[in-house]
Structure 1
Amino acid sequence: MLTWLILLAVLLIVLRFRFPYFLKDLQYAIQLCRVGYRLAKYAQSKPYFTILDRFLETVSRHPQKTFISFKDEIFSYQETDRQSNRIARALREHAGVRQGDTVALLLGNEPVFLWTWLGLAKLGCSAALLNYNLRSRSLLHCFSCCGAKLLVAAAELRGAVEEVLPALTEQGVTVFLLAEECDTVGMETLSDKIRLASDAPLPFDLRANVTFTSPAVFIYTSGTTGLPKAAVVSHQRLWGMSSVQSSAGVCSDDVVYVNLPLYHTAGFALGFTGAIERGASIALRNKFSASQFWDDCRKYNVTVMQYIGETMRYLCNTPKSPADQVHNVRIAFGNGLRGDVWRDFLERFGHVEIRELYASTEGNMHFINYTGQIGAVGRINALHKRMFPFAVIQYDLEKEEPVRNAEGLCIEAPRGETGLMVALITQKAPFSGYARDLQQTERKKLRDVLQRGDVYFNSGDLLRVDQHNFLYFQDRVGDTFRWKGENVATNEVSDILSMMSSITEANVYGVRVPGQEGRVGMAAVTLQKGEAFDGISVFTHVCTYLPAYARPRFIRVQSALEVTGTFKQMKVQLVQEGFSPDAVRDPLHFLDEREKRYSPLTMETHAAILRGAVKL
């Protein structure tokens, strides 16, 4: 017996040093199999077992368990079930909502958002989640994408709806306001009708025709590269998204802090329905607040937090406190965490298991960094690749298309080299596309990739796989650009600029210059409060840390950078405005090689650049 124990110990030591990630790879593979088994079982069930059914299962088993904590209110699974029943009955009786309909929601982060979606699911309907920050034409565009004939809006958003009400009325759209009273012609109240509705369970027949391919929700892309598109999230796809919490190690005893917008995937699917999948509890906040974040975590006994974009950096920038490590958060999952912020966060706030993700709303693949490797967005697991085939292929940045061989097939990028991430579209990993937009849907498909006739989802993202099977996000196609025959990764340049103590944020992009090949680098930056732009120190910094071709030739100083609801930087408008002092009202500077500084960009200098008198 002793001999066997010694051999086992030796084997574990050998595995630890020869294959340092073996145990974590094995643990993740087992978790992946469990998730795959559950999803396969749900897909084969008659009738189809949806996220709603999982919710009702928990209501039956643990009716008094806390589901939502919001401000100073607590709602159990049972109370949430009853509230959603009232909403479903009110919509069915007074709005005529029936199975197969789509209802647009213009609501903020509050419990009624969650109750309304559950109520619609009980009627066999889908919901289009509108960004409550949108106004006028942008709001109308998003509404028109989903084909809804009914809009449910929050009372505080009445003004935004009134702006577009004539157009909605013309389209035959019914508008319900979550209020007791409303004197606007063309709007009806809903809160009063909900209050009078029965909270008795609804018959299953009302949603009997829902299948795994039925749309559960329409979630809009962030619009960083143009107008938002309504991604069709089927019930099957929603299950996949909701299972991310399971992959990250979340269990039913956890309290998940949801402070990101519910109209986006992170808040809705990874947070809300992910908690339903786990049978966990939610601490809901109407808006992310860096200053209140840890107080909320202590107040609600949060054990799992979400992050996205720059939220972790915002937390690290708050004033230090003796209570920084006084919390029960054990897991943080999300995406977009820079390596330097990752280290700062762990050092300041204590040991938290960071689970960085790579995924997209409409995509058919996701990766998770289950090892905690700083900077990586995921790890390639042999089982994962077998279940959901993908590839990182060579991409020509100048032609903006994949590199193909003599046979017309794509070429996989060697280890260590940046390439385009694509994933095979299969029954297990479908791509549902965008609502009422066949052209954009087709553009995301890449054909004849590794074999004739295959079809892959084109992520539009450039990633790199290292020698240890870790995945690193490099940039988005269209963000990375070529200058002086070299590829410039905007993320890398942004990180370098943000290292300066005077610069708060940097958004890097490429702009066209007449007579020049490729695109020249430009950065929009914001400064720390009380700081002035120091052209000499910025020049010295970029020359120290960046090669000549990657140094931004133009810098635009802004009071604030425009971001999406999930803190993704907006580039489209910046690219269009370029570097002309006529088009840009913000202070502009150019990299002045003669003076060894960034000098103010005047109309005379701009004209000299256009005629080639100033070398870039």
Structure 2
Amino acid sequence: MYISTVTLATLVIIPVLLKIFAPYFWEDVFYLKELVRILLTFVSRRKRRPLFLAVDRFIEQSALHPNRTFILFENKSYSYQDADKESNKIANALRSHACSQSGETVALFMRNEPTFMFTWLALAKLGCPVAFLNHNIRSKSLLHCFSCCDAKVLIAAVDLEDALTEIKTALEEKGVCVFIMTKECNTPQFISFTDKVESASDLPVCRSLRSQITFKSPAVYIYTSGTTGLPKAAMVSQTRLLAALAVLASNGVTAGDVIYLNLPLYHTAGFLIGFIGTIETGSSIVLRRKFSASQFWDECRKYNVTVIQYIGEVIRYLCNTPKKQNDKDHKVRLAIGNGLRTDVWRKFLNRFGNIQIREFYASTEGNVGFVNYIGKIGAIGRVNLFHKTLFPYALIKYDTERDEPMRNAKGLCIKAPKGETGLLVSKITDIAPFVGYANNQQQTEKKRLRNVFKNGDLYFNSGDLLRIDSENFIYFQDRVGDTFRWKGENVATTEVSDIVTMIDFVEEANVYGVQVPGHEGRIGMAAITITKGKELDCKNMFSHVASYLPAYAQPRFIRIQNCVEVTGTFKQMKKTLVEEGFNPTLVTDPLFFLDDKDKSYVPMTEDIFQAIVCGNIKL
């Protein structure tokens, strides 16, 4: 009787104690269990021979569930078998007509469409690494991105043919074979490809064509803007792609889910999470060319969508749409993404219902990530000992004025105490490698941080400032260096500055991001000096930035200065400029605003400023 009473009391007391002292105990246990399951699955696949790659998982799914819907796109449906056969046709057409061999890098220049997915599957079956070119870039940036991946074949959508004609001469000089997805090509030296695909066989591609691949081989190149220079091609290895299969499954997505994919496929989120993650689960994808706030929920209802992807801006746009009585009338149960602001998070849940938010932290080239599996509003993840053992990381003190980590008398970095903001660094190991950027050793080395906690150690420098609270939740604070983020895109200020200073009347340009009330991230602004004897030509300035830069990277505000202020080491000073922003009452220098309607930069007035702040002028 005594033992029974003690046992009963223990059973009552333990849950109470856990609730008080470890409120997230069971969530942590279930998450760690999932981590172990993912790790065991990954290790098991790594041991398979011949090598088991992400594309092999797709081939498995198409064999197991040939008639299951894979892609829904503009009222057209493609089964797993359809995708398999179509990718076989593309692969066989490439083998017959391409001027390169299996295993060589191919660049893909397309918008969101099923052909993007079919072409990647085809190239993966051939063992070819694929470089995803951002369909927004043009001219110098486009040629740079293509060149740095050493591709000899470029496959493009027909609606992007004009962009390629701008760099046609340079492509010819490089001996590049350009295929356009059309039956008849209008540009000399470009080759029509759709007709060749239609006449090709849909028989499976021989697995031996990818026998040269190792797990360290490049699978895809995804471009990311860094702190300086033009976009860099981050190499995603076959191992990383294999690991990416688990992203959706680890968040509870199953074969019965329908995933709404409106993020760009050339980005990490759209490709690795939306596309590759779906291959693992055998789910269905509703693919959109681009995000539309006005059509989002109607399409979710139409297709019975259960899982959505987001970046912070997507959720904010949805919250800014006019309220409707059927806002909560949908089947969406899960939202996966990053960059969600705390106030927008709450507003989204209150308006659209009890949707589970899985906010995460990761970067294309990085070697560590976090997941907010608890659902704590505002957090990007939760830290635990098991995760830290597998992927050693730390937050270190960072001097934002000197733009470098703080170091002690021994020259080693200093850990930031819990509750304080610090720079995230992650140890480079065999399990958590940092491969770097294609043909860009200088930028690769900049992301490596040496002698962090002991002489000779090597860490990946994330460039992100984070904070861990007393409950072990981790929060994003800011970015260091010269990169800002707008419309879900990273913008390298040096790249924008290089473009702006190409104009003959601009002597110098100091580009930075400024905050706009009610908006995620920072929007581009440029403080410029005018060349002696010249004057600002507002329409020419507009035409120039519109021709060379995608919309998200175009400076929306111009500030005219007599000289660009620099530090003692000749670094451009941005801090004061960022703080003053584009408010004409605070800034005595002439200010201009990019007006899309007038196709010109117009003088910034108090009325324009107030219209922007109030949201009456859309940015």
Q: TM-score, normalised by structure 2?
A: 0.81
| Aligned residue in 1 for 2:415 | 412
Alignment partners' CA distance in 2, 1:508 and 1:170? 35
| Aligned residue in 1 for 2:517 | 498
Deviation at 1:276, TM superposition (A): 0.7
Find 1:391's aligned residue among 381, 389, 394. Answer: 394
Alignment partners' CA distance in 2, 1:506 and 1:521? 13
Structure 1 residue 170 corresponds to structure 2 residue 173: yes
Deviation per residue, 1:562-604 (Å, 9 max, x gap): xxxxxxxxxxxxxxxxxxxxxx9454579xxxxxx99xxxxxx
Percent identical: 53
Q: CA RMSD in A?
A: 2.8
| Aligned residue in 2 for 1:519 | 575
| Aligned residue in 1 for 2:143 | 140
| Aligned residue in 1 for 2:355 | 352
Find 1:462's aligned residue among 462, 465, 490. Answer: 465
Alignment partners' CA distance in 2, 1:379 and 1:554? 45
1:325-336 mapped onto 2 (5 Å cutoff): 325-336=328-339
Alignment partners' CA distance in 2, 1:338 and 1:28? 24
Find 2:91's aligned residue among 88, 92, 95. Answer: 88
Equivalent pair of 1:136/1:164 in contact (CA under 8 Å): yes
Alignment partners' CA distance in 2, 1:504 and 1:270? 22
| Aligned residue in 2 for 1:184 | 187
1:52-451 mapped onto 2 (5 Å cutoff): 52-222=55-225, 226-451=229-454
Deviation per residue, 1:192-213 (Å, 9 max, x gap): 0000111111111111122211
Alignment partners' CA distance in 2, 1:67 and 1:246? 16
Alignment partners' CA distance in 1, 2:261 and 2:417? 39
Equivalent pair of 1:390/1:423 in contact (CA under 8 Å): yes
Alignment partners' CA distance in 2, 1:177 and 1:268? 22
Structure 2 runs not aligned, ≥5 long:
485-511, 528-562, 568-572, 611-619
The amino acid across from 2:575 in the alignment is R
Equivalent pair of 1:142/1:230 in contact (CA under 8 Å): yes
Structure 1 runs not aligned, ≥5 long:
482-489, 527-532, 540-551, 562-583, 591-596, 599-616
Alignment partners' CA distance in 2, 1:557 and 1:514? 20
Deviation at 1:10, TM superposition (A): 3.3
When residues 478 and 115 of structure 1 are mapped into structure 2, their CA distance, relative to the original with a 3 A threshold, is same
When residues 518 and 140 of structure 1 are mapped into structure 2, their CA distance, relative to the original with a 3 A threshold, is closer
Equivalent pair of 1:524/1:555 in contact (CA under 8 Å): no
Deviation at 1:94, TM superposition (A): 0.6
Q: TM-score, normalised by structure 1?
A: 0.81
Alignment partners' CA distance in 2, 1:173 and 1:187? 10
Alignment partners' CA distance in 2, 1:225 and 1:72? 42
Alignment partners' CA distance in 1, 2:588 and 2:32? 47
Deviation at 1:225, TM superposition (A): 5.1
Alignment partners' CA distance in 1, 2:305 and 2:296? 10
The amino acid across from 2:48 in the alignment is S
Find 1:10's aligned residue among 5, 8, 13. Answer: 13
| Aligned residue in 2 for 1:507 | 523
When residues 199 and 426 of structure 1 are mapped into structure 2, their CA distance, relative to the original with a 3 A threshold, is same
1:18-37 mapped onto 2 (5 Å cutoff): 18-37=21-40
Equivalent pair of 2:305/2:331 in contact (CA under 8 Å): yes
User: SS state of the match for residue 248, structure 1?
Assistant: coil
Deviation at 1:226, TM superposition (A): 3.8
Give the length in aligned residue pairs: 535
Deviation per residue, 1:181-233 (Å, 9 max, x gap): 11321111110000011111111111112221111100000467541100000
The amino acid across from 2:126 in the alignment is L
Alignment partners' CA distance in 2, 1:174 and 1:144? 13
When residues 19 and 555 of structure 1 are mapped into structure 2, their CA distance, relative to the original with a 3 A threshold, is farther
Deviation per residue, 1:506-565 (Å, 9 max, x gap): 638897964898730437989xxxxxx8x78xx8xxxxxxxxxxxx9989674579xxxx
When residues 3 and 77 of structure 1 are mapped into structure 2, their CA distance, relative to the original with a 3 A threshold, is farther
